[in-house]
Amino acid sequence: MKHLDIREVLNKQELRGQTAVVCGWVRTFRESAQVAFLELSDGTSFQKLQVVIEKGSLAFDPECTKLGASVAVKGVVVQAYKGEGNELNATEISLLGKCPPEYPIQKKRTTLEFLRTVPHLRLRTNTFAAVFRVRSVAAQAIHRYFHEHGYYYINAPLITASDCEGAGEMFRVTTQPWNASYKTEEEYYKNDFFGVKAGLSVSGQLEGEVAATALGKIYTFGPSFRAENSNTTRHLAEFWHVEPEVAFAELPDVIEIAEDLLKYLIGAVLEECPDELRFFDSFVEKGLIEKLRHVVASDFAVCPYTEAIGILQKENARFQFPVEWGSDLQSEHERYLTEQVFKRPVFVTDYPKEIKSFYMKQNADGRTVAATDLLVPGIGEIIGGSEREADPQKLRAAMEERKMDLSAYRQYLDLRTFGTVPHGGFGLGFERFVMYCTGMENIRDVTLFPRSSKNIM
Ligand code: 4AD
Ligand code: MG
């Protein structure tokens, strides 16, 4: 159907005086004695288009005025009576699809909790349409950043036989039901599709390292899967993961890249989504725009884990889980550090090796690894990364300590046998980034169809 995007009709001065056709969904309808106003949205902009109908001048189906109905309107573009944009003086209105009154997206009932029960319709609200426009702009900016900085885009496999994070959170991929005639697990998997135990990837990092140790700088951007039972506002079973991996990079380089990427992405959202951010600033998180501008302008803090524990231990009374050296940081500790102590994003570095993954570079102290988590106010961990262990003996020893099956990681070990180099990278949780930019507090509200334990709507 030949028509113009509402975004264009609203903003293009040169369209004034011309006839245009727009299509969209009815957001409001009001009328007085002489005129009626139909507000339309087609998703292309935060602003809606006001269609002005001179009463008696044209006949149309009354269904065209119902909330949620889809219509096509032909009219003359004119400068809006109020504001700077344009509006449309209707000459023809036709119904595309009527919308009965049981339409769930009513003005009054729209709590976020209720909207989670209608994931297929909630994008028609201001809030969700704005979230998904921001999400799209951020995804484009990710590709642009890496392309502009000489990275290659790699697609890591989603089905894998190796558990990157080693935390036992893999979903299994299988085509066969359990059969009691198998005596051992091994025998069972031998008869399965791949002949070994296979699962959905928790991270593209291990394959990313393969590509980085040939192409230099690469990134992956795709889904990761984690069978975590933690039903929190920050965890999904299926999330999108941005994972750059860089040859010849050490931990300080990894930190520099992460900070630069994050600032670039926030800058892109600030520039390309002003209407959406103004809306989130007014209705979701007061001061959001100021927060984002401040983050782009300031230096992120860096704090070694051991120092962070020192700071937190003085405040142990306030925490549900008191910390000591060796404890994993819980969300409450992460948020205290970034929100109360540093009041800006902070890279915590050099964690105890016992609480981090096998592949991280072992520091000279024998107790810590060259890892970093970036913590941001309101969210906690948004990035996890490290320099990787490049020494084959040390890597093998770390894997043996964790009782890992080395034969499953032969290729990964080969990278250290044949021309090993220092290298590193990180993973940015894409949904957590979108939460940070929009102020949305639940990861389920920045994902089209969120998957979590007992939830696959
Ligand atoms: O800290 P993680 O587990 O690190 C890795 O997977 C590394 N292999 C990354 C790398 O070095 N290439 O995950 C990275 C980020 C987290 O900081 C978090 O933002 C996000 O991924 N994340 C999740 N987001 C939503 N739901 C989940 N269940 C997530 N698990 C991790
Ligand atoms: Mg992590």
Ligand closest in space to the Cα of 381: 1
Calculate mean pLDDT across residues 432-451. 98
Q: Which tokens go with 297?
A: 């302008």
**pLDDT mean over 435-447:** 98
Token digits of residue 431: 């949904």
Q: Which amino acid is at 248?
A: F
Q: Which residues surround ligand 2, an ion (CB under 5 A)?
A: 384
Mutate to test the pocket of ligand 1, among 146, 200, 239 (most ligand atoms within 8 A of CB): 239
Q: Which atom of ligand 1 is nearest to the CA of 373?
A: 17
> If you measure from the C-alpha of residue 62 to the centroid of ligand 1, how many angstroms do you get, rounded to a whole number?
51
Between CA 296 and CA 380 the distance in angstroms is: 18
d(CA 137, CA 275) in angstroms, rounded, equals 13
Q: Half-sphere exposure (CA, 13 Å, Cβ side) for 125?
A: 23
Phi-psi region of 55 (alpha: psi -120 to 50; beta: other; left: phi over 0): beta
Ligand showing the shortest atom-to-Cα distance for residue 251? 1
pLDDT band at 181 (very low <50, low <70, confident <90, very high): confident
Q: Which ligand is the nearest neighbour of the Cα of 451? A: 1
Rounding to the nearest 10 degrees, give the CA dihedral for residues 144, 372, 408, 170: -80
Percent of the chain, pLDDT > 70?
Answer: 100
pLDDT for residue 178 is more than 80: no
Q: State the ligand closest to the CA atom of 205.
A: 1
* Residue 346 alpha carbon to ligand 1 centre in Å: 17
DSSP, collapsed to helix, strand or coil, labels residue 11 as: helix
Average pLDDT over residues 185-210: 94
Nearest CA to ligand 1 atom 4: 384
Take atom 7 of ligand 1 and give the residue whose Cα is closest: 427
Q: Which residues touch 311 (CB under 8 Å, ≥6 apart)?
A: 303, 337, 341
Ranges of beta strands (E only) in 62-200 are: 70-79, 86-97, 152-153, 159-160, 172-173, 198-200
Asked whether the predicted pLDDT for residue 108 surpasses 80, the reply is: no
| CA atoms of 69 and 280, how far apart (whole Å) | 26
Q: How far is the CA of 258 from the centre of ligand 2 (A)?
A: 14
Give me the phi and psi of 370, to 5 degrees please: -80, 65
Which residues make Cβ contacts (< 8 Å) with residue 451, sequence separation at least 6? 236, 237, 238
Tens digits of residue pLDDT in 16-63: 999 999 999 999 999 999 999 999 999 999 999 999 999 999 999 999
DSSP 29-66: EEE-SSEEEEEEE-SS-SSPEEEEEETTS----GGGGS
Query: Is residue 89 classed exposed, middle or buried when 0-12, 13-18 and 19+ CB atoms within 10 A define those classes?
Result: middle
* Ligand nearest, relative to CA of residue 203: 1
Ligand 1 centroid–CA 385 distance in Å is: 9
Structure tokens at 65: 């005025």
Cβ neighbours for 225, distance < 8 A, ≥ 6 positions apart: 158, 170, 171, 199, 200, 201, 202, 237, 238
Atom nearest to 226 CA in ligand 1: 28
Interatomic CA distance for residues 160 and 191, integer angstroms: 17
Question: Exposure of 441 by Cβ count < 10 A (0-12 exposed, 13-18 middle, 19+ buried)?
Answer: middle
Q: Which of 348, 350, 253, 345 is nearest to 299 (CA)?
A: 345
SS3 (DSSP) at 91: strand
What's the distance, Cα to Cα, between the start and end of the chain in Å?
Answer: 32
User: Is the pLDDT at 225 greater than 90, yes or no?
Assistant: yes
CA 122 to chain centroid, in Å, comes to 18
Question: If you average pLDDT over residues 165-192, what whole number do you get?
Answer: 86
Q: Which residues line ligand 1 (CB under 6 A)?
A: 164-165, 203, 205, 226, 228, 235-236, 239, 241, 243, 381-385, 425-427, 429, 431-432
- Range 212-220 average pLDDT: 98
Q: Does residue 293 surpass a pLDDT of 80?
A: yes
**Smallest CA separation from ligand 1 atom 1, residue:** 384
Lowest mean pLDDT among 53-57, 301-305, 453-457: 453-457
Q: What distance in Å separates the CA atoms of residue 17 and residue 122, rounded to the nearest whole number?
A: 35
Q: Which residues of 224-243 are buried (b: 16+ CB within 10 A; e: fewer)?
A: bbbeeeeeeebbbbbbbbbb
- What's the pLDDT score for residue 164? 79
Ligand 1 pocket mutation, candidates 142, 151, 164, 224, criterion most atoms within 8 A of CB:
224
Domains of the chain: 6-103 (2.40.50.140), 122-445 (3.30.930.10)
Alpha-carbon distance values, 216 to 209, 305, 416 (Å): 9, 29, 15
Element (H, E) at 251: helix 251-272
- Give the distance (Å) from ligand 1 centre to CA of residue 361: 18
